[in-house]
A = this chain, B = another copy of it.
């Protein structure tokens, strides 16, 4: 049909035909806005009318976010050709592609992101002590450890290890805190500081990302990214907050590193070596730089070991 005819139809439609409430995005997409529950058959009729209109308008992707209270509309939407894009506890997002071409809709989130933090300090004298039991280990991001944030706080009294230090370049004492946390829309550096405070009652400053590990199929088809961070404490009295935490105590980094469990597992052993290397000022990780997005005013952190002149 030619443009004149099509635009004339459009006017009639707008005058006489009921359509679903929707807004348009910058990529030729349509975002359907279903606020209240409605009859499945009424919904199907409105959906069919609306899609034919959007097709005339050259729209492409159609997004349908249905809160869990509107679960009765999921089936009719799928019957009309919608498929699942992603879901969160309170809603499911369905999508539909109007053109004949392959869809170019963005992918779903693919990774869980965990943070494990070491705390390194040079004022260990005030540190609290907790009795520990079992193995002090870096959480490995299994379901079990998501449910139970096992961690350890370890400390080196200055007297005990000073001999192995370069007194000019290394702190007199070391504190070590391990903790797994899964991020939800939070900065790695901000989350690490917040969680150390919540779980151990210790105030810290973010130092570096020492390393990160990527593993797959750790959760259905999803992957895990775990960032190993180094923090510097500004307070030292441990207050164990989380009843799910097995125990927390100060211990020498070397004592942590020398545990059979750590030595037996290559990645733990390697991370322990990095921590000791950092303690000896022989390692440089990535530091965060606050930047703004190129396409919006959004803040983001760029992690690197680049030093601005």
Residues of A within 8 A of B (CB): 26-27, 68, 71-72, 74-75, 78-79, 83-93, 104, 106-113, 137, 140, 142-144, 146-148, 182-188, 210-223, 225, 261, 265-268, 270-271, 273-274, 277, 283-286, 289, 291-295, 298-306, 308
Contact = CB atoms under 8 A, between A and B. Distances in A.
Given A185-B216, A300-B213, A140 B295 contact: yes
This protein's copies in its complex: 2
Given A111-B225, A223-B183, A216 B304 contact: no
A164 B38 CA distance: 70
Given A110-B182, A140-B293, A274-B306, 14 more contacts: A68-B78, A84-B87, A84-B88, A86-B86, A109-B112, A111-B183, A185-B217, A185-B223, A186-B216, A212-B304, A225-B225, A266-B291, A267-B291, A270-B306
B213 A302 contact: yes
A213 B301 contact: yes
Nearest to A302: B213
A141 to B, nearest CB: 9
A187 B211 contact: no
A225 B214 CA distance: 12
A225 B286 CA distance: 14
Contacts of A302: 211-213, 267, 270-271
8 closest A-B pairs by CB: A215-B300, A211-B304, A87-B87, A104-B147, A84-B87, A265-B294, A267-B291, A109-B109
Nearest to A228: B304
A109 B111 contact: yes
Given A110-B113, A303-B211, A27 B270 contact: no
